[in-house]
Amino acid sequence: MAGAGGDMQWCLSQAKGSLDDDVTEADIISTLEFNHTGELLATGDKGGRIVIFQQEIENKRQPQYRSEYNVYSTFQSHEPEFDYLKSLEIEEKINKIRWIPQKNAAHFLLSTNDKTIKLWKISERDKRPEGYNLKEEDGRYRDPSTVTSLRVPVFRPMDLMVEASPRKVFANAHTYHINSVSVNSDNETYLSADDLRINLWHLEITDRSFNIVDIKPANMEELTEVITAAEFHPHQCNTFVYSSSKGTIRMCDMRASALCDKHSKMFEEPEDPSNRSFFSEIISSISDVKFSHSGRYMMTRDYLSVKIWDLNMESKPVETYQVHEYLRSKLCSLYENDCIFDKFECCWNGNDSMVMTGSYNNFFRMFDRDHRWDVTLEASRENSKPFQVIKPRKVCAGGKRKKDEISVDSLDFNKKILHTAWHPQDSIIVVATTNNLYIFQDKMN
């Protein structure tokens, strides 16, 4: 696997999506997820569709191999619905996709919109039965009186067909909007979290779900925080965490009690009260929480930074990385244009040595934890020729702008990178702009 971040040379391998300046709302990418081997990459969009790409590797034995992601399957996962009781529209936008670890030839994933989670089976068909006695090859029935001899139907190879079928629908368990889904390491259960509650499901059972966290106050006037993300520990099937809009992360142990309202650990960085402002709570809201592959750390993303927490230390994070500190002096306008509420995600690389997250102007940031090194890169077709190493970018916070730097006021806040993903094994990263997908590969591999 890769060496230090500073040695890495990222090249644009593929760019997918429409080149139109006018973005169709349905095409807005809303989630991105590699499966456990990295062979498959799933994307979900605002139109409720899922596109799955498959990795095809050329010259795998050579040290500098190239891989390409091509469409494997595409299907409509969710449709818009209308909640008759509340007269509210239920968006078809896919909020999260999570892959189930593979047990047989088929692939399974969970996809969710605001209210309903679905288990999809994606399977390949490369043979079909031929030689029926009562049916023609095109399916029309033969007149039985014309059949004079019998034959045994056989399976013959056919062009590969990938089929997606909904196997389970887990509905009606969430009053509020689902923000997270996480598959347990036991491969039997999973959790789904909305703004105020977390439910535990069994993958085989759709008509029942257990509520394990409920932070809804008796009087809604007393509401002070909401759940923003939740995830199961990668190895300990009894442990999960959930983050809040107040910047705290609570870890719960399902062995302690059926209802995990009482956390077993609470991670919170103390704040200097003299620094408190109108914006403090809003920018401390955690938009994403991800355990490291090792299970020893977890990473949180708030508006301006990425924090790494050691699960054994609740008092403060062990590492803090500034994503775009220059935005601190722009909070007023970012509040007015609602950008301050943007939910950025973050991800780990395969060996937990590096983390990545998105920013504005189609910039994204990478931090090397071991070497205290970071870089800002851009996802853009104009500035990246295929197979050419992309140049680091720099934002000038104030004062004299050097050549090649971009000033904060020139940043395009409509070009946000909210979703990024890192291949679990290879040095391949995927970055989603509003409606395009960029796949970068490290030249050094």
Partner 1 sequence: CCDIRSLEVEDKVISPEKAEEAKLKARYPNLGHKPGGSDLLRKRLQKGQKYFDSGDYNMAKAKIKNKQLPTAAPEKTEITGDHIPTPQDLPQRKPSLVASKLAG
Residues that bind partner 1 (CB under 8 A): 16-18, 24, 26-27, 29, 43, 45, 47, 49, 51, 71, 74, 76, 80, 82, 84, 86-91, 114, 176-177, 195-196, 220-226, 245-246, 275, 277-282, 285, 328-332, 335-336, 435, 437
Question: Which residues in 262-362 belong to E strands, given as ranges?
Answer: 265-267, 288-291, 297-301, 305-310, 319-322, 346-348, 354-358
What is d(CA 69, CA 439) in angstroms, rounded to the nearest whole number?
8
Least distance (Å) between residue 186 CB and partner 1: 31
Least distance (Å) between residue 109 CB and partner 1: 16
Q: Which is nearer to partner 1, 64 or 74 (CB)?
A: 74
Tokens of 180: 């997270």
Q: Which is nearer to partner 1, 162 or 237 (CB)?
A: 162
Least distance (Å) between residue 353 CB and partner 1: 30
Least distance (Å) between residue 177 CB and partner 1: 7
Q: Which is nearer to partner 1, 82 or 155 (CB)?
A: 82
Q: Which is nearer to partner 1, 33 or 352 (CB)?
A: 33
Q: How many CB atoms lie within 10 A of CB 46?
A: 18
What is d(CA 335, CA 353) in angstroms, rounded to the nearest whole number?
34
Least distance (Å) between residue 350 CB and partner 1: 24
Q: Which is nearer to partner 1, 48 or 350 (CB)?
A: 48
Q: Which is nearer to partner 1, 152 or 160 (CB)?
A: 160
Q: Which residues contact 204 (CB under 8 A, 6 or more apart)?
A: 168, 188
Q: Exposure of 151 by Cβ count < 10 A (0-12 exposed, 13-18 middle, 19+ buried)?
A: exposed
Q: How many CB atoms lie within 10 A of CB 217?
A: 12
Least distance (Å) between residue 14 CB and partner 1: 11
**Three-class SS of residue 234?**
coil
Between the CA atoms of 38, 44, 49 and 52, what dihedral angle is there, to the nearest 10 degrees? -10
